[in-house]
Structure 1
């Protein structure tokens, strides 16, 4: 089995439930463990983990309706931002706005962060607006 079979872009909108997503994340992690045991290139595994989270976050950003907020950006920082996400590492995120955060945006951001916590992802987050 290859990475493409685990890609979050293949998750159907009806499957965006906590139990399904937790299982999907666990299946991907299990695949990575097996790949590591089978001497898969560790650099590629670390990069694939970052790619998996990228694709998952894009899907979830859209799912909670943040793609409608054109003044917001979701930015990966730290090791994750460099495309190097090790197992058990936190996922460092910055949500940036050029015009501040509306109540609606704040509610959607809160929904996203809560969803990520519910999925048991270790999130390091910050938010900022430019002036």
Structure 2
């Protein structure tokens, strides 16, 4: 799913946007501040975001708080259940950061389906195309 997000963001139609993929543990506040947009991907773990994504937010929240207001973001949840707890947790933090969702979260529920990959690719392309066009 991560590779599909990146593939979409790096589509040949997108000429002026550079996309990078980093794990939550690799990502530093300066990466977030430098980015024009953020795509977040997390599994649903016990009805909440992954510990890795929570660690990312714990480390980056205050260093980014006054520097990333209005930053466009999108969320993808790979949910074994319904994803609502994960969505609520991430949206609460993103609201605190004053980030701007570019669409409703993509929640890939239940058993694995190949269309999850296509949906991620489409979302990556949407983010990159929106940034390139100045829409986001």
TM-score with structure 2 setting the length: 0.29
Greater helix percent: which structure? Answer: 1
Higher RCO (C-alpha under 8 Å, 6+ residues apart): 2
TM-score with structure 1 setting the length: 0.29
Give 1 or 2 for the bigger CA radius of gyration: 1
